[in-house]
Amino acid sequence: MDPSALLRETLLEKLKSGIWRAGHRIPTERALCTEYGLGRSAVRRVLGQLKEAGLITQTVGSGTYVSERIAALLPALESSAVAAAVSPSELMEVRMALEPAIVEMVIRNATPADFARMAQCCERAEAAHTLEDFEHWDGLLHEVIAEAAHNSFVGQVFKLMNQARAQGEWGMLKRRSVTPERRAAYQQEHRQLVAALRERDLERALECTRGHLQHVQRNLLGR
């Protein structure tokens, strides 16, 4: 398991087991960096995921604490366990089926604010200095596209898919498969997809979605 995934799983296990209860102050970013051999940006990203899920709170000048709502949120941690059991091959099968299926909903329901968020994800991915950062913004782009369908069930499914992408096996395959040339190609494909969605061109958006996913599958799994 890669260090980022190990950190995330360790923190989640301490929350699920009750070792860390509501109000518990968790170790500092510096301490987590040292213990897991990670850079500050990687640790912040893991903590950001937990904060976004409502599991922790952060107070400037004070520290990071387990949320007072942790007991109510524990069921959501079970979805993390489900995501961890999904193989990269299974995840790609689901992506190939679902992502093209929501394109029509996105074209029908997306707002200018949604398109602005998509563009921001593209910009941040292109500016990323590490593969970890690129993968974060890559995954977030697909999640933002799903949210633009404005269907709460679809949004939850894609959040679960992104949790699966955060697991160690996917990360290892991605690191082995992504060259600078492939990353540049992915970035171009993302821009083409977002442009087709913004122009509400269904045929081109479907073509871009399927082409991008086939490209990722070929590079990641060799088929």
Let me know whether 42 and 91 are in one domain: no
- Examine the fold and report which residue of 49, 74, 99 is the final residue of a domain before the chain moves on: 74
Q: Which range of residues forms the domain containing residue 108?
A: 86-221
Let me know whether 132 and 52 are in one domain: no
Let me know whether 33 and 119 are in one domain: no
Domain count, the chain: 2
Let me know whether 104 and 60 are in one domain: no
Let me know whether 134 and 211 are in one domain: yes
Q: What are phi and psi of 113, to 5 degrees?
A: -65, -35
Give the pLDDT of the chain (223 residues) as one tens digit per residue.
577 878 888 898 888 888 999 999 999 999 999 998 989 888 998 898 888 878 899 888 889 999 998 888 777 665 555 555 567 888 889 899 999 999 999 999 999 999 999 999 999 999 998 888 888 899 889 999 999 999 999 988 888 787 777 665 666 777 778 889 999 999 999 999 999 999 999 999 999 999 999 999 999 888 7
- Examine the fold and report which residue of 74, 101, 134 is the final residue of a domain before the chain moves on: 74
- Examine the fold and report which residue of 16, 42, 74 is the final residue of a domain before the chain moves on: 74
Query: Rounded to 10 degrees, what is the CA torsion of 99, 102, 104, 110?
Result: -110
Let me know whether 135 and 203 are in one domain: yes
Pairwise CA distance, residues 118 & 144, whole Å = 6
Q: Give me 215's structure tokens.
A: 């490209």
Let me know whether 102 and 207 are in one domain: yes
Pairwise CA distance, residues 183 & 172, whole Å = 15
Let me know whether 102 and 165 are in one domain: yes
